[in-house]
């Protein structure tokens, strides 16, 4: 991850924790706050309770990749906090959890477009399904 996309320093981490909003799911917590820049920055925190250094670093690599492959809005600082159990999750599960939190926090371009009343485009990566299990448009 490029340096300009990282949140560094305890002061900014504390400010995000104190003033920011949060959302959570089974695997992750996200805390986020507007940063006034034209790009978003991220930090990844995984406690020693999750596992040893090898396990924690694997979790952070998966989180970084799940964020990297998404289309994101600029202007946000976000801290992802891994919960116990994330070490047993597959990349697909981590990716879905990251996507869920980014949509709920409205940091993704897709969530921004949907909030503005825009239409979903084919291939947006979001599948709507009805009770019969067929995709709807």
**CATH 3.40.50.2300 applies to domain 3-115:** no
The model's pTM is 0.76
Neighbours of 128 (CB within 10 A): 9
The pLDDT of residue 57 is: 95
pLDDT tens-digit map of 38-89: 888 999 999 999 999 999 999 999 999 999 998 888 889 999 999 999 999 9
Q: What is the pLDDT of residue 128?
A: 35
How crowded is the C-beta side of 26, counted as CA atoms within 13 Å? 10
**10-23 tens-digit pLDDT:** 888 888 889 999 99
Identify the pLDDT of residue 71: 84
């Amino acid at each position: 991850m490029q340096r300009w996309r990282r949140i560094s320093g305890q002061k900014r981490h504390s400010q995000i924790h104190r003033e920011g909003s949060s959302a959570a799911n089974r695997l992750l917590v996200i805390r986020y706050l507007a940063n006034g820049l034209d790009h978003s920055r991220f930090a990844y925190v995984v406690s020693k309770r999750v596992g040893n250094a090898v396990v924690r670093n694997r979790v952070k690599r998966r989180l970084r990749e799940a964020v990297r492959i998404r289309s994101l809005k600029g202007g946000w600082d976000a801290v992802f906090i891994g919960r116990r159990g994330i070490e047993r999750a597959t990349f697909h599960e981590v990716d879905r959890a990251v996507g869920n939190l980014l949509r709920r926090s409205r940091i993704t371009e897709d969530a921004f477009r949907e909030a503005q009343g825009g239409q979903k485009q084919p291939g947006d990566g979001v599948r709507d399904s009805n009770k019969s299990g067929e995709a709807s448009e």
